Amino acid sequence: MERMAEAEKVTMALDDRVIDVTKGIDKLHVIIDKQKNEPGKRQTIDCPICGAKAAMTYVFSPYNGHLHAGCTVCRVSIMQ
């Protein structure tokens, strides 16, 4: 029973983390949509997930248009 309670706590913590990262990705798109974005041009912004100053870089691939973003502080890495 104790292991079930512990597993439930871990699952709830992971759910919270997924929700936080998802909200951060939504914020990232709001920020990016306001910038002049050229494919292949790497840009640095404050991380919309952990809030660290100038910690996230992102770039749109010149090959396929995918967004690649990552934070050096919270280590979130995004590819869409």
Identity (one letter) of the amino acid at 45? I
Answer yes or no: are the C-beta atoms of 46 and 52 closer than 8 Å: yes
CA 47 to the chain's CA centroid = 8
74 binds Zn ion (CB under 5 A): yes
Least distance to Zn ion, CB of residue 43, Å: 15
64 phi/psi in degrees, rounded to 5: -130, 0
Candidates 32, 50, 59, 78: give the one binding Zn ion (CB under 5 A). Answer: 50
Is 14:6 a contact under the CB 8 Å cutoff?
no
- Alpha-carbon Rg for the chain in angstroms: 16
Residue 62 beta carbon to Zn ion: minimum distance, rounded to whole angstroms:
25
| Binding status of residue 28 toward Zn ion by CB under 5 A | no
Residue 70 CB, shortest distance to Zn ion, in Å, is 9
Of the residues 49, 58, 60, 69, which one makes contact with Zn ion according to CB under 5 A? 49
Provide the binding-site residues for Zn ion, judged by CB under 5 A. 47, 49-50, 52, 71, 73-74
